Chain A
Amino acid sequence: MRVEAGGNTRRPPLLSRALPAWLQALPLALVFLVFFIVPLALTVMVSFWDYTEYSLVPAFTLRSYTEMFEGCYDRLPDLCVTLKTYLSTMKFCLIVWLVTLVVGFFIAYFLAFHVRSLTWQIALFLICTVPFWTSNVIRTISWIPLLGRNGLVNSTLIRLHLIDTPIEWLIFSDFSVIVAIVHLYTLFMIVPIFNSMMRIDRALIEAARDGGASGWQTLWNVVIPLSKPGIVIGSIFVITIVMGDFVTVGVMGGQQIASVGKVINTQMGALQFPPAAANSVILLVAVLAIIAVLTRLVDIRKEL
């Protein structure tokens, strides 16, 4: 009894410490419950519902999923619309990922290891980040006067007599979509990689050099392995954004290029909620699978 009483007297302070913490975290937790957890659960639920032209019918049916993958198996090796859309989206993902990774890595490397004063580091880093705080739509359409049929690139090339007729594939093409996405999201690679690099003990670099490693050897065997957490985090950011993108693909693809995000957007516009929900579920599974593979490559928790 005495022990219990002792336990009881020790409890109130513990509770009074935990209670404020809960109360402080509660508003944020509620926002994510109402606007993130519940919506995701409802999406999964509605993806199994039936629907008519203008209403949702609560049920449990695989209709949306079967319609989505209709003919995907029978008509192989021809690709069905859904597979084509996913392949196209993943193609953009892969190209953008490679470009942002290489560019982002070297920009971060330059900032972290070659800029020597902290003031300059902060200033140059800010220059890279400012566009992140401006409008993505504006940044996207600002490519049009450059890449357009009569845009700056084409007119310059014509004036230089390098080409006779404007290059058509500069705008509203895969090319322009990739340029615009790289333009928008390289920052998401730079910041985490830069962050990882700033934590690298400079003595390790010196040790590598003293041990006779060349610049490239140091980069490959010391800097890159130690930047891995940043590389993985940046990759997750870029890949998830591109997988769900519909604005950039829409505007820069001239509304002609398919993407998973666009399909969902179109279905929502047509009030076809269960198919849109089913598409979202598949997209989410695909994204989570990619993240799982990436985190398997590097154990983030161990690396941190």
Chain B
Amino acid sequence: MSERRAAGFYWLAALFALFVLFLYGPMITILILSFQGPQGGLTFPMNGISLHWFYRLWDGLGVVDIWAAFRRSLRLGAVVMILTVVLALLAGLAYRKRFAGSNLLFYVVVASLIVPSIVVSLGIGLEFRLLDDLVKWTAEALGYEEFAQSYGTTMGLFSSGLGAQLTWTLPFGLLICFAIFNRFDRRYEEVARDLGATPWQSFAHVVLPIIAPSVVGIGLFGFTLSWDEVARSSQAIGGLNTLPLELEGLTTTVTNPEIYALGTITTAVSFLVIGTALGLIAALRKRAALRASP
């Protein structure tokens, strides 16, 4: 390549800059507007600067218990993150060997990424409703009238909701695992085995430390995708909503900057998680590099 920049470079650089502005501009706008003064409205100009809307948000948003939704989403995100890391990693290990049905499973996982979320969500919602009907019908048929009367639903945050989100996070997790193991040098494991390590020892002391940064990446996907998920959860979450679902409902009812304050806090959590993950990845890489050089 010549040292001089091609003319196209400047056009493309300008396009890139515009694109970044397009990406971040709106987000920065509501970040600024969330610090709107008490008399200010949903748009510019800023009517002073205050934490007024954050205080109001702290006291709750009318009938919606936003902080309960906030905590629910954090808990669900944590569970989705752990399950995504563990299940995707296990399956990733399985795909390093040949096993019957591996192709079929791969196609199913990719299909889960491609089938519109509303369809998946509706299917899971239906599944749990039919399950509820079946439970009630069986209880009545067996004469457990009281049980049938008091029986509510199996749908919920950690049953149907969790499953719905996993169909979205696991494909990403598995694809990342493929990328990890494609680049993994098997000779490390062979050395471990030659030195007498059991399969578990070789995984825990050799493989895992090497792939640790990427595993953090899977966790990042697991949590953030769950934290923001709307479409797949929408029909499958049961009676108690997650934060993004509450937020979606609030877009039509809340007409003051409280919703921007909530947006700022939600985004802050996302950035905190992204920052922690990227920091952890950098730290793990650094440690590996330090150990490699004597």
Could you tell me which A residues sit within 8 Å of B by CB distance? 17-18, 20-25, 27-29, 31-32, 34-40, 42-43, 46, 56, 103, 106-107, 109-111, 114, 116, 124, 126-128, 130-131, 133-146, 148, 150-152, 155, 183, 186, 206, 215, 236-237, 240-241, 243-247, 250-251, 255, 261, 264-265, 268, 273, 276-277, 280, 283-284, 287, 291
Contacts and interface: CB of A to CB of B under 8 A. Distances in A.
A265 B97 contact: no
A40 B86 CA distance: 25
Nearest to B235: A268
A32 B108 CA distance: 7
A124 B23 contact: no
B16 A110 contact: yes
B256 interface: no
Contacts of B29: 142, 145-146, 152
B116 A244 contact: yes
Interface string B108-128: 110111111111101111110
Given A133-B224, A137-B230, A251-B251, A35 B114 contact: no
Interface string B207-231: 0000000000000110011011011
- Sorting the interface of chain B by its residue count into under 10, 10 to 19, 20 to 34 or 35 or more gives 35 or more
Contacts of B278: 126
Interface of B: 1, 5-6, 8-9, 12-13, 15-16, 19-20, 22-27, 29-30, 33, 42-44, 86-88, 90-91, 93-95, 97-102, 105, 108-109, 111-120, 122-127, 129-130, 133, 163-164, 166-167, 170, 174, 199, 220-221, 224-225, 227-228, 230-231, 234-235, 244, 247-248, 251-252, 259-260, 263, 266-267, 270-271, 273-274, 278
A114 B12 CA distance: 8
A17 B96 CA distance: 11
A110 B116 contact: no
A151 B43 CA distance: 6
B26 A146 contact: yes
Contacts of A140: 251
A228 B26 CA distance: 32
A21 B99 contact: yes
B224 to A, nearest CB: 4
A43 B235 CA distance: 13
Contacts of A124: 16
Contact of A139 (B27, B33, B111): B27
A34 B44 CA distance: 49
B44 A155 contact: yes
A133 B220 contact: yes
B44 A152 contact: yes
A130 B271 CA distance: 8
A250 to B, nearest CB: 8
Contacts of B123: 36, 38-40, 42-43, 280
Nearest to A239: B114
Contact of A31 (B25, B167, B260, B271): B167
A136 B164 CA distance: 17
A142 B117 CA distance: 23
Given A21-B99, A134-B228, A109 B12 contact: yes
Contacts of B126: 39, 42-43, 46, 273, 277
A134 B115 contact: no
Nearest to A215: B8
Given A27-B87, A43-B123, A150-B43, A34 B163 contact: yes
A148 B43 contact: yes
Contact of B167 (A35, A114, A145): A35
Given A31-B166, A36-B167, A137 B248 contact: yes
B182 to A, nearest CB: 12
Contacts of A21: 93-94, 97-99, 102
10 contacts: A25-B102, A29-B105, A43-B122, A136-B230, A136-B244, A145-B42, A186-B19, A206-B1, A277-B126, A287-B115
B116 A284 contact: yes
A35 B27 contact: no
Nearest to B278: A126
Contacts of A23: 94
A261 B99 contact: no
A241 B100 CA distance: 31
Nearest to A27: B87
A28 B231 contact: no
B163 to A, nearest CB: 4
Contact of A251 (B88, B248, B273): B248
Given A124-B16, A244-B118, A280-B119, A32 B170 contact: yes
Given A21-B99, A40-B115, A243-B116, A273 B234 contact: no
A145 B30 contact: yes
A283 B122 CA distance: 12
Contact of A134 (B119, B221, B231, B271): B271
A209 B142 CA distance: 80
